[in-house]
Amino acid sequence: MMEKMIFGRFIPGNSIIHQMDPRAKISFVFVFIAIVFIANSAVTYGILLGFTLLVVFLSKIRLYFLINGLKPVFILLIFTFFLHIFFTREGDLLLDIGFIEIYEEGLRQGIFISIRFLVLVFITSILTLTTSPISITDGIEVLLGPFKRVKLPVHELALMMSISLRFIPTLMDETGKILKAQMARGSDIGSGPMKERIKAVVPLLIPLFVSAFKRAEDLATAMEVRGYRGGEGRTRYRQLDWRFVDSLSLLVLAGLAGMLWYFRV
Amino acid sequence: MDILLQEVGYSYAKDTPFEKRALTDVSLHIPSGSYTAIIGHTGSGKSTVLQHLNALLKPTEGSVMIGERKIEAGVKAKNLRDVRRQVGIVFQFPEQQLFDETVLKDIMFGPLNYGVPEEEASRRAHELVEQLGLPPEVLTKSPFDLSGGQMRRVAIAGVLAMEPDVLVLDEPTAGLDPRGRREIMDLFHRLHIQKGLTTVLVTHSMEDAARYADRVAIMHNGHCVVTGEPEEIFSNEEQLGDYRLEPPRTIRLQRKFEAKAGIKLGAISLTEEALAKNIALALLEGRDSE
Amino acid sequence: MNSNILSFENVTFTYAPEDETVKPAVKDLSFSIQDGEWIALVGHNGSGKSTIAKLMNGLLFPQTGKVSAMGRMMEEESLWDIRSQMGMVFQNPDNQFVGATVQDDVAFALENNGVPHKEMVLRVKEALHQVKMEAYFDHEPHHLSGGQKQRVAIAGALALRPRLLILDEATSMLDPQGRMEVIETIRELRRATGLTVISITHDLEEAAMADRILVMNAGHKQLEGTPEAVFLSGNQLTTMGLDLPFAMRMTHLLREAGVELEAEHMTEDELVDDLWTYYSRK
């Protein structure tokens, strides 16, 4: 189950989207989220959907992987769709079978909300699928830069984030390993009554904590020995490179907003 | 207890963009009472095979027979506890699985899970602590207050306390100092003989495989490429080289000596003692005959 | 020019100074390391090795005695300056990998020391070239083997162009191949640059390659000398839980089996030569 989820994962590649500056991509996603709410008609939602599919196409991520990997999200989507269909009672009555009554407005709303949901999930997934976690962190650090003035520890936050990201695979492996070791000793998290399952979590969590603390201690030592003294006087190895495509992408987005506004009902 | 892998294939994260094939068409028989060493380069699939031996992983192709129990690809396997009680696994760096307040409780964790009465579990814990050369006062200590080597022993005791028929060892001595390494390996060998265990050792150490095992299987790129007796496997340096493995040092030295002296020693030397004996025999015998 | 890179003078360290029943982890230890030397510090687990490592880089300060490095006494003021001239590689390959990718990790110490970007790019490349990991520039740590991670850690240390490289049990968690990779890398480095190296280890095969060995036992220095000299005291080492190199073990076993070898042998080739002489003499 977890293995198949692609939400929040990164697939390396060299598409035009992969090569964009993370700052551009992060800003793009935030602006896009705002723009989505301009749409309110069939044409505008159609434009949004088309635009999103174009982005997916440009990213060279196979649509099949995207759909397959976002399955749990679709369950939520279908749920909201039916919620709208069944509970909106406006417009003409389209269908009436006993206790189920479907109204035109309900169907419209259901479809619109689903599209809105879909494009948001797709675009944010494309961000994480095409941008390495470290680039996202870099982007965020720079974008949050102005907040240093108000004493927001931007450098520390970014470093914490990048170290956490770096250790996720390590800790995932370790969790799997400890889980298996305890399963081999007859502990069973996967089955049995809830009470038993909760009890079975302890032998997993304690070793995980112990090892995480040990790792943290080792890492702190290694960082100190390698001269880490906080953000002051530090130079940056990673330089972000804002290119024409990045400006262009934001221009395209502005164009999209204009178009949506124009066709809005 | 016999374990039989038949045409086993395994892929991690099957049907995703992250799918990774780990095993292809692995057939391997581990006869009851044998001491089998599984050797191979890092990433050859050794650890994946190991996890099939007590159904921690289920094959995505083929089947695994563990004693009477058959675990088949595509067939839901329920109630694997019995299998897991019979096949104990000592993972690499097993001290990472310690969690309980005291060493005693931690060792008793496995047996209690499998329904062994409290008194019996405690008796086993006391006995094992002694067998593993730990002072009895560790029983009441927290496992996290022990030294690294002691923690390793406690973790091993926790697996042995389930009294498995098959003992699977994944690099059980990694990170220990030379003395600790020898003590632990000798202990496993003693248990193997005393309790009539079936032992499977996954190791990088050709020396350990040569010294302790009576059967050797080589894994390479997810395939089980060769199985046989240590004498034949380790005397075939060319074949070992094909799988990027080195012969044990004793055999390397034997070959150097043979090449230099232009003679062949009578037997393949799997241990240092055997090598000393074989060389001495060649040197001294020649002398007597003159 | 001071050629003394690191020295301990009568250093004693206790983790619990107020508790007299706790034995000091390091007792009255003195030694010094000259520029260009390769020293191995050996001892079984719990012999005081790791405490010494922490005293070397100022993570701990001794209760009595003096630690000095690069010609300066180790204290709060000199600490960062001294650290910028020594690189250190630790035991667990995973727990010292700070960067998200190989190149980021190598750059970490450079960033901390405020090296300008242009210079950093050059040094990262150069350091990765020195450990032969340039092909892994953009790799993430969980796609590397243990030996590769340790080589990246060595590159991370080298990027700062240190005068001293300390390997604190850097090979003990690796498989035989990883261990060979790391040892080969160090030998290659020594050949090319003559860098001063301290390796802290319980592997005597590794120690045999050093110029000088210090044997630690229960917090004090038990033996010191060239590998040959140290290994000659064979039984003393084995009672300390250490293992003689393979060729020496074989020499002893052969003697027990009645082959009267006279000399001690450090390498397999020497032993084979001697056996051959023995054989041709008969």
- Condensed to tens digits (0 to 9), the pLDDT of residues A82-103 reads 888 888 777 787 777 777 778 8
Asked whether residue C261 is assigned to any structural domain, the reply reads no
* pLDDT greater than 60 at residue B290: no
Question: Does residue C275 surpass a pLDDT of 70?
Answer: yes
pLDDT higher than 50, residue B244:
yes
Domain co-membership, B194 together with B124: yes
Contact A237 C120 (CB under 8 A): yes
pLDDT category at C2 given cuts 50, 70, 90 is low
Q: What is the DSSP string of A194-243?
A: HHHHHHHHHHHHHHHHHHHHHHHHHHHHHHHHTT---STT---S------
The total of structural domains in chain B comes to 2
pLDDT band, residue A69 (cuts 50/70/90): confident
Chain B CB within 8 Å of residue A184 CB: yes
Which sign does the torsion angle of CA A68, A70, A72, A73 carry? negative
Interface residue B15 vs chain A (CB under 8 A): yes
**Is B101 contained in some domain?**
yes
How sure is the predictor about A48, in pLDDT bands with cuts at 50, 70 and 90? very high
Spatial CB neighbours of C15, under 8 Å, sequence gap ≥ 6: C22, C25, C51
Average pLDDT of C59-81? 92
Examine the domain organization and report whether B103 and B241 are in the same domain. yes
C1 — pLDDT class (breaks 50, 70, 90): very low
* Cα–Cα distance measured from residue B13 to residue B76, given in angstroms and rounded to the nearest whole number: 17
Q: How far is C112 from chain B (nearest CA, A)?
A: 31
If you average pLDDT over every residue of chain C, what do you get? 90
DSSP for A27-66, written as a single string? HHHHHHHHHHTT--SHHHHHHHHHHHHHHHHHHT--HHHH
B284 touching C (Cβ < 8 Å): yes
CA distance B172 to B153: 10
Residue at A97: amino acid letter: I
Note whether residue B5 is domain-resident: no
Nearest CB neighbour to B175, from listed C173, C241, C254: C173
When pLDDT is cut at 50, 70 and 90, the band that residue A3 belongs to is low
The shortest CB-CB distance from A182 to any of B87, B88, B97 is to B97
Nearest-neighbour CA in chain A from B166: distance (Å): 12
- Answer whether residue C279 is part of any domain: no
In the predicted structure, residue B286 carries a pLDDT above the cut 70: no
Whether B238 and B252 share a structural domain: no
> Is B271 contained in some domain?
yes
Domain at C136, CATH number = 3.40.50.300
Chains that touch A (3 or more CB pairs under 8 A): B, C
Range of the domain at B116: 33-43+79-246
Beta-carbon count within 10 A of A86 CB: 15
The reply to whether B275 touches chain C by the CB within 8 Å rule is yes
Please tell me the predicted confidence (pLDDT) of residue A1: 41
In a domain, C259, yes or no: no
Q: Which of B87, B82, B41 is nearest to B197 (CA)?
A: B87
Using 50, 70 and 90 to split pLDDT, how confident is the model at B289?
Answer: very low
Query: Six-digit token pair at A150?
Result: 């108000």
C133: in domain: yes
Are B29 and B2 a contacting pair, CB within 8 Å? Answer: yes
Cβ-defined contact of C100 to A218 (cutoff 8 Å) = no
B283 and C279: CB-CB below 8 Å?
Answer: yes
Residue A85 or residue C40, greater confidence: C40
Of A137, A215, A239, the CB nearest to C117: A239
Which residue, among C97, C98, C123, C161, would best test binding to A if mutated, counting the most A CBs under 10 Å from its CB? Answer: C98
pLDDT at B275: 94
Give the pLDDT of residue B215.
Answer: 96
Closest CA to A191 of C3, B79, C248, C210: B79
The mean-pLDDT minimum among B82-96, C161-175, C229-243 falls in: C229-243
pLDDT value at residue B229: 95
When CB atoms are compared, the residue of A65, A184, A202 closest to B54 is A184
B11 pLDDT exceeds 70? Answer: yes
Among C231, C228, C266, CA closest to C250? C266
Q: Is residue C86 part of a domain?
A: yes
Structural domain contains residue B22: no
| pLDDT of res. B102 | 95
Of B196, B189, B268, residue with least CA distance to B230: B268
How far is C114 from chain B, CA to nearest CA, in Å?
A: 36
Cβ B279–C275 below 8 Å, yes or no? yes
- The minimal CB distance from B97 to the residues A4, A181, A188 is found for A181
Any chain B CB within 8 A of the CB of A106? no
| pTM of the complete model | 0.84
Confidence of residue A62 (pLDDT cuts 50, 70, 90): confident
Hey, what's the torsion of the CAs at C230, C231, C235, C241, to 10 degrees? 90
Residue with tokens 């906080």: A230
Mutate to test the interface with A, among B14, B49, B54, B97 (most CBs of A within 10 A): B97
- Say if residue B9 is exposed, middle or buried (CB neighbours under 10 Å; 0-12, 13-18, 19+): middle
Task: Out of A134-143, B233-242, C25-34, C111-120, pick the least confident.
Answer: A134-143
| pLDDT, tens digit, 9 for 90 and up, residues A226-246 | 999 887 788 889 888 899 999
CATH number of the domain where residue B186 is located? 3.40.50.300
Query: How far is A49 from chain C, CA to nearest CA, in Å?
Result: 34
The reply to whether A227 touches chain C by the CB within 8 Å rule is yes
Q: State the total domains in chain C.
A: 1
Query: In the prediction, which pLDDT does A4 show?
Result: 55
Span C144-170, average pLDDT: 94
For an interface test with C, the pick among A225, A228, A229, A234 (most C C-beta atoms closer than 10 Å) comes out as A225
Whether residue B187 is found in the same domain as residue B209:
yes
**Of the candidates B57, B158, B64, B67, the residue with the CA atom closest to the CA atom of residue B111:** B158
What domain range is C35 assigned to? Answer: 4-227
Is pLDDT at B110 greater than 90 in this prediction?
A: yes
Q: What is the pLDDT of residue A193?
A: 75
